A and B are shown apart, each in its own frame.
Chain A
Amino acid sequence: DAGVTQSPTHLIKTRGQQVTLRCSPKSGHDTVSWYQQALGQGPQFIFQYYEEEERQRGNFPDRFSGHQFPNYSSELNVNALLLGDSALYLCASSLSAGPSYEQYFGPGTRLTVT
């Protein structure tokens, strides 16, 4: 049973550029959440996707956007990158019919903005 997978593992971008991160949820899961984890901090909720729509959003600017595909996989897009966007981006999947706290995390994508 495949767990949550994310790609790429590492990414280096320049300020002002755009980036797309990808996530495949755990088999059977239909909901994907994205979190940003700065170095030495706990993950911060960005948004959650279900049925290809953004269902809930955290305190992140519109530069952060996402998408969910019919196969439940998801993308996180960040435009006009800032140095402060450097972080580990985590994807978590869950089952909409289950408790919202049962989220399974992927290994993350380490984004470095220079």
Chain B
Amino acid sequence: GESVGLHLPTLSVQEGDNSIINCAYSNSASDYFIWYKQESGKGPQFIIDIRSNMDKRQGQRVTVLLNKTVKHLSLQIAATQPGDSAVYFCAENSGSARQLTFGSGTQLTVLP
């Protein structure tokens, strides 16, 4: 069935370096893609989203890239900080569906 998945389950980066978290999706009908950050003991927190008619969107220290040709989504975090350590999920939503479909997550660990 349709699914959203991630390439790597864990990622370790040095503080100050840039992080790139990848995600593959299979539902070509998806309209929106969202990145969530989930810290231990908390619910997912919205980071950034992108519509399917865009290929790049920037926020504060974060950039999301969308490649519809290969159904690939990535989250780039600039100058990664210790507070960025968390599990990151990509999620997708199609206009006709009301739920979010999540991938399995990537654990980002920022090393001092």
Chain A residues with a Cβ under 8 A of chain B = 4, 33, 35, 40-45, 48, 55-56, 58, 90, 92, 99-108
Q: Does residue B42 face the partner (Cβ distance < 8 Å to A)?
A: yes
Stretch at the interface among B57-65, B66-74, B75-83, B93-101: B93-101
Nearest opposing residue in chain B for A46, CB measure: B99
Query: Which A residues touch B97, using CB under 8 A?
Result: 56, 100
Instruction: Report B43 CB to chain A, min CB distance, Å.
Output: 4
Nearest opposing residue in chain B for A105, CB measure: B43
| CB-based closest 6 A-B pairs | A42-B102, A105-B43, A45-B99, A101-B93, A101-B32, A56-B98
A-B contact pairs, 30 of them (CB 8 A): A33-B98, A35-B100, A40-B105, A41-B105, A42-B89, A42-B104, A43-B100, A43-B102, A44-B102, A45-B99, A45-B101, A48-B98, A48-B99, A55-B98, A56-B98, A56-B99, A58-B99, A90-B43, A92-B43, A92-B100, A99-B32, A101-B93, A104-B46, A105-B36, A105-B43, A105-B44, A105-B45, A106-B43, A108-B42, A108-B43
Query: Which B residues touch A90, using CB under 8 A?
Result: 43-44
Sample of 20 further A-B pairs with CB below 8 A, known A40-B104, A45-B100, A55-B98: A33-B98, A33-B99, A41-B104, A41-B105, A42-B89, A42-B91, A42-B105, A43-B102, A44-B102, A58-B99, A90-B43, A92-B100, A101-B31, A101-B32, A101-B100, A106-B43, A107-B41, A107-B42, A107-B43, A108-B43
Report the bound CA distance from A21 to B99 in whole Å.
Answer: 20
Q: Does residue B110 face the partner (Cβ distance < 8 Å to A)?
A: no
Nearest opposing residue in chain A for B92, CB measure: A101
Query: Which A residues touch B45, using CB under 8 A?
Result: 105
Nearest opposing residue in chain B for A94, CB measure: B98
Nearest opposing residue in chain A for B32, CB measure: A101
Contact A101 B43 (CB under 8 A): no
Instruction: Report A61 CB to chain B, min CB distance, Å.
Output: 17
